[in-house]
Amino acid sequence: MPTKKHKPLGILALAGVAPYQEKSGEEYMDKSQQEHFKKILDAWRVQLREEVDRTLAHMQDEAANFPDPVDRAAQEEEFSLELRTRDRERKLIKKIEKTLQFIEDDDFGFCNSCGIEIGIRRLEARPTANLCIECKTLAEIKERQMAG
């Protein structure tokens, strides 16, 4: 019987929320918008933590001392890849927690570089975004130029 691969859910679906519908005359990043993003960020953080727990359990269950060096090397490579992925997720969890703190401090949703509104749709696509599209594009161009 073939095993089913879990298709990753989008962040909004993961949180069980629909795209935010702005109301007429609504102020940008009011309490309802902040609550919307808290739900998204909390669900994302929970999902990442569950992945970390699954990896730990998998590595403990699968850890074997293979007598064959090729089998042992293959397992070590698999574990190494999983650990690198989990390290990236650990960093993302920290970024999510920092973003949640920005919401608590009423400092969420505005570009760290120029101060303009980042925008609801961009934040729904990447809730940890801290630059508007224009500043992010400029930063990426500068980064490519520096990398040469």
Task: Give the pLDDT band (50/70/90) at residue 83.
Answer: confident
Whether 55 and 88 map to the same domain: the answer is yes
Which tens digit of pLDDT belongs to each residue from 10-43?
889 989 999 999 999 999 999 999 999 999 999 9
Q: What pTM, to 2 d.p., does this model score?
A: 0.80
Rounded distance between C-alpha atoms, residue 39 and residue 50, angstroms: 17
Cross-strand bridge partners of residue 110: 117
Contact residues for 118 (Cβ-Cβ < 8 A; gap 6+): 109, 110, 111, 129, 130, 131, 132
User: In this structure, is residue 18 part of a structural domain?
Assistant: no
Whether 36 and 104 map to the same domain: the answer is yes
Write down the pLDDT at residue 93: 96
User: In this structure, is residue 24 part of a structural domain?
Assistant: no
User: In this structure, is residue 67 part of a structural domain?
Assistant: yes
CATH number of domain containing 64: 1.20.120.910
Whether 34 and 102 map to the same domain: the answer is yes
Whether 75 and 117 map to the same domain: the answer is no
Structural domain for 139, as ranges: 110-148
Task: Give the pLDDT band (50/70/90) at residue 1.
Answer: very low
What average pLDDT does the segment 73-94 reach? 88
What average pLDDT does the segment 127-136 reach? 97
Whether 122 and 76 map to the same domain: the answer is no
Task: Give the pLDDT band (50/70/90) at residue 9.
Answer: low
Q: How far is CA 112 from CA 30, 31, 36, 73, 129, in A?
A: 18, 20, 21, 45, 10
Mean pLDDT of the residues in the chain: 89
Position 4 pLDDT exceeds 70: no
Position 110 pLDDT exceeds 50: yes
Which tens digit of pLDDT belongs to each residue from 38-69?
999 999 999 999 988 887 777 777 766 777 88
User: In this structure, is residue 15 part of a structural domain?
Assistant: no
Q: How many domains does the chain have?
A: 2
Between 75 and 5, the more confident residue is: 75
